[in-house]
Amino acid sequence: MEASIQIRDLPFAKNRILSLAVIFLFISFHFLLPLGLLFGSFPYWAAWIFAASLGPVSYTFWNLIHESIHGNFSNERKQNHFWGRFLCIVFGAPYSVLKCSHLMHHKFNREPGDRIEFYDPNSSKPRWFQSLNYYFRITVATYIFEVGTGLMLSLPSRWTKPIVDRFIEYPIEEGFFKWIYRPEILEELRKDIFWILAFYIPSVWLFGNYWPLLVFLLLSRSFFISFFDNAYHYGKEINDKNSAFNLTLPKPVSAFFLHFNYHRIHHKFPGCSWDRLPKQMEVSGETWDKSFIRQAWSQWGGLLEPLDGKISK
């Protein structure tokens, strides 16, 4: 008798409802809002409030995609993949790029190339350049990398591979490009880029003279994703794949961000769905490390001195 495959208790219905709600919000912003501005039925000041409110929603948006990346969106592989790609088209970056870069983060967590806040005296890059790179990475670089890499890789590989090979410096980068240059991955990526452009080009055209609203939304999305994601690791011990902070947030805010602040729990149990992270923390005997707000703010402290692999800030 064949053993049956264990079916996990995943919040698929909740994930679909949340995904549809988020997609509706952003479709409204990209298409209904500029039409409302064009015909004078929506006040300009309210449009800015709407745009500002979607900054933090973008982080929830990313966390829904994250559930798909880890196979926690649905028990069905095809559903995970479909919703991940669908969400990413509205998000503006190919699913394959987000999936590969995030899985490489888990594989190489706190190894060279994934501990951007530590000054590297052995690097050929001067300290000022490393500092500039650090601030760029924690403010906007994550989303820009996802979008830019997707657009670049949609071009013929014979054009992009020589460029990529020149800039690969760490194993995490080598692993990323080795995986994403697989023919079937590139084929999917190029299809997704087509649909992303089909979504965003009409939106850009509709905004017309109101383009600062669209730019503001994309920059705020870049900031929330880059700044929040790095906060869980800033100053934590290196060379440990489970190295991350559990950061406190008010319960409603934690739920709004799909409990991503239970971050060390996530690294230890990446197959645990977002709704079960609080329970997983309880049964694991884990503890909170510090306040999310205080830890996130500490990132403005800039580059830290190299650590010996054991010390944490």
What are the structure tokens assigned to 153, written together? 């890789």
Q: What is the pLDDT of residue 138?
A: 96
**Angle (nearest 5°) at CA 277 between 76 and 74:** 10
Closest CA to 288 of 297, 296, 278: 278
Cβ-Cβ contacts under 8 Å for 94 (sequence gap 6 or more): 88, 146, 150, 153, 188, 189, 192, 193, 196
Best CA proximity match to 94, nearest among 157, 150, 41, 166: 150
pLDDT at 311: 44
Taking Cα atoms as reference points, which of 77, 49, 59, 66 lies closest to residue 22? 59
Task: Provide block-wise average pLDDT over 10 residues at a time, the chain (313 residues).
Answer: 61 97 98 95 95 97 98 95 98 97 96 91 89 96 95 96 91 95 97 98 97 97 96 93 96 97 97 97 95 97 76 46
The pair of three-digit structure tokens given for residue 129, joined into one six-digit string: 């350049």
Partner residues linked to 247 by β-bridges: 290
